[in-house]
Every structure is written in C-alpha cells, then in structure tokens.
C-alpha cells in the first residue's frame, strides 16, 4: 500500500510570494495533519483536518491556511512568505481524530530567499 | 497544556550494544498515546513504536522496547543490539484527545550515533 505522499519535494521561493503544498493520505485515512519542522527542532503542529473540516490549529499566523478535499487529500497554503518560513513541512495521516497513530510523508523542503 | 521533554540532546552507542533514550511528558488527559519516531538524515519521520496509556504492558517491536511508567510520566526507549542503521534523530511524541484534535506534541529530539 502507498504511504503518505507529498509534493513537491523541494521548493525555493522569495519573500512575499505564496506557496501551495500538497498531501495525499494513506488510503482509508480521513484525517490529515500538517507540521512545520525548523532545522534542529521537533515538528510543530499547524493544522488538522478530518472529513474536510478543520479540527485544530496551532499557533501560526493567518498567512497559513489549509483545506481538505472530498478524496481526503489536503493542501497547505502560505501567503506573504517570510525568511522564517523556511522549513520542512510534514504531512501526516491517521484513521481518526482520537488518539491514533499518525503516519508521515517524506516532507516538502521549503526555502525562502 | 501538554509537554514532552527529552533531556538527552545526543547519545552514542557501540554497534551490538544496548542504549536507552529518555522521555518525560505531562498531560491532564486520561486517554493518550505515546510514540517514538525516528528521523534519519533523509528527514522522513518513521514510526518506531507506540504505547497506549491504558495498556499496562510495555510495547515491544523487535529490537525496540519501551519502559512506560505512567505514574512518573516517563516513557523511555530501549534499543537492543544496536545497528548502524539505527543512527538517527529520535523524537518522543504525545497525542491526547482533550478536544477535537489529536495533534502530536514532540520533544526536542535525541541524536543517536552508532559507533562501529
């Protein structure tokens, strides 16, 4: 079975631009979560979506938004990019929203110049 | 608030030896899971082992086992017969269901080096 997939693998943007990251969950998983991992730190929670509804949001500015589609894939959008947005963006999927195992994709490495 | 603390930034072990990585956590929830994830240089986050809080028996997965001390809120990972491929950053993580989200709270990680 295919695991969580993310695209693109790498991305280079300049300050002020906008970026869209994509994630496809494991087949049958209805929950998708997004995390930001700055180099040298643990991942920080950004969003969780379940059945196309936002179920949780971390301490990130409104420049960050996301959505989930009927096929449970998800997009993370970041507007007005700042240098500090440079990070590895990880997507994880799980079957449900209760305590459950989250499986991670390979991540998208975003560099903001 | 939920927190996860890993007090060992770096650890080293000889190949074939045993090493234990430490983790403490705090949560007011009664229903929660604890995890150890491994992140090699490729930065893919790989699940190592899971422990449900309601289970008294410590989880094991081949060479990996945990020591779950619920009252002390301690969750350590033991790696037996260490292999070169075990070298990676190891993150302890907690998820609880205190609301509508099952977000993961991660520790700061322990970088494990395996010496041949």
Q: Taking every pair of C-alpha atoms in chain B, what is the biggest distance, in angstroms?
A: 46
Q: For residue B98, name the pLDDT band (cuts at 50, 70, 90).
A: low
Our CA-based measurement puts residue B90 at a distance from the nearest CA of chain A, in whole angstroms, of 10
Residue with tokens 């998800």: A74
Q: For residue A13, name the pLDDT band (cuts at 50, 70, 90).
A: very high
B99 pLDDT higher than 80: no
Give me the pLDDT at residue A96, please.
82
Percent of chain A with pLDDT over 90: 88
Q: Tell me the pLDDT of chain A averaged across its residues.
A: 95
Rounded to whole angstroms, the Cα distance separating B89 from A74 reads 27
A53 pLDDT higher than 70: yes
Average pLDDT over residues B5-21: 97
Question: In terms of CA atoms, which chain B residue is nearest residue A43?
Answer: B106
Residues of A in contact with B107 (CB under 8 A): 42
Rounded to whole angstroms, the Cα distance separating B79 from B12 reads 12
Q: Tell me the pLDDT of chain B averaged across its residues.
A: 94
Question: In terms of CA atoms, which chain B residue is nearest residue A106?
Answer: B44
Size of interface A-B (CB pairs under 8 A): 77
Residues of B in contact with A97 (CB under 8 A): 97, 100-102
Rounded to whole angstroms, the Cα distance separating B70 from A105 reads 30
Give me the pLDDT at residue B101, please.
76
- For residue A108, report the phi and psi dihedrals to the nearest 5 degrees: -120, 125
Task: Suggest the residue from A30, A43, A49 to mutate for an interface test with chain B (most B CBs closer than 10 A).
Answer: A43
Average pLDDT over residues A71-87: 97
Our CA-based measurement puts residue B12 at a distance from the nearest CA of chain A, in whole angstroms, of 18
A26 pLDDT higher than 80: yes
Percent of chain A with pLDDT over 70: 99
Per CB distance under 8 Å, which residues of A are interface residues toward B? 31, 33, 35, 37, 41-45, 48, 55-56, 58, 88, 90, 92, 94, 96-107, 109
Average pLDDT over residues B7-33: 95
In a 3-state reduction of DSSP, which class is residue A11?
strand
- A48 or A2, higher pLDDT: A48
């Amino acid at each position: 079975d295919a695991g969580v997939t993310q695209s693109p693998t790498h991305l280079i943007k300049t300050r002020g631009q906008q970026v869209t990251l994509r994630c496809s969950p494991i087949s049958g998983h209805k929950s998708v979560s997004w995390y930001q991992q700055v180099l040298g730190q643990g991942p920080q929670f950004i969003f969780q979506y379940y059945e196309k509804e936002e179920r949780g949001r971390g301490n990130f500015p409104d420049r960050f938004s996301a959505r989930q589609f009927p096929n449970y894939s998800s997009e993370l959008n970041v507007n007005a990019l700042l240098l500090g947005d440079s990070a590895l963006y990880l997507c994880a999927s799980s079957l449900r929203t209760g305590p459950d195992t989250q499986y991670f994709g390979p991540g998208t490495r975003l560099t903001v110049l | 608030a939920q927190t996860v603390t890993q007090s060992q930034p770096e650890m080293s072990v000889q190949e074939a030896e045993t090493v234990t990585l430490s983790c403490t956590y705090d949560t007011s929830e009664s229903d929660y899971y604890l995890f150890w994830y491994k992140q090699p240089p490729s930065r893919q986050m790989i699940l190592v082992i899971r422990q449900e809080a309601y289970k008294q028996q410590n989880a094991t997965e081949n060479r990996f086992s945990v020591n779950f001390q619920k009252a002390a809120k301690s969750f350590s990972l033991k790696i037996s017969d260490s292999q070169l491929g075990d070298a990676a950053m190891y993150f302890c993580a907690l998820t609880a269901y205190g609301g509508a989200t099952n977000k993961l709270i991660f520790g700061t990680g322990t970088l494990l080096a395996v010496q041949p």
